[in-house]
Amino acid sequence: MDSESFAFGAPVIGVLVGAVIIVVSLFQGGLTPVTMIGGLIGFVSIVGLTIAVTRFERGELSGSELTADREH
């Protein structure tokens, strides 16, 4: 698996899972610890996505085509 795919795909999946947990747990029981865990999963995933974008912009991820385009 390409490192870029994992670096961007995993946080996006985490945001989706966190959102589903938040919505389902709010409808099931209101504001519970499970809802907070869903929010935490979403928050950590957003931070991970921010780190991935920063690394991509710096060219630290392998196979970066955008970095080569920027040199022209």
pLDDT at 71 over 60: no
What is the spatial distance between Cα 36 and Cα 52, in angstroms, rounded to a whole number?
24
Q: In degrees to the nearest 10, what's the CA dihedral of 48, 52, 54, 56?
A: 180
Show the tokens assigned to 1.
Answer: 């698996």
The residue written with tokens 């999963």 in the block is: 41
- pLDDT band per the 50, 70, 90 thresholds, residue 72: very low
Quote the pTM value: 0.72
pLDDT score recorded for residue 64: 47
pLDDT, tens only, 28-66? 988 889 999 999 999 999 999 998 888 888 887 665 454
Res 21: pLDDT: 93
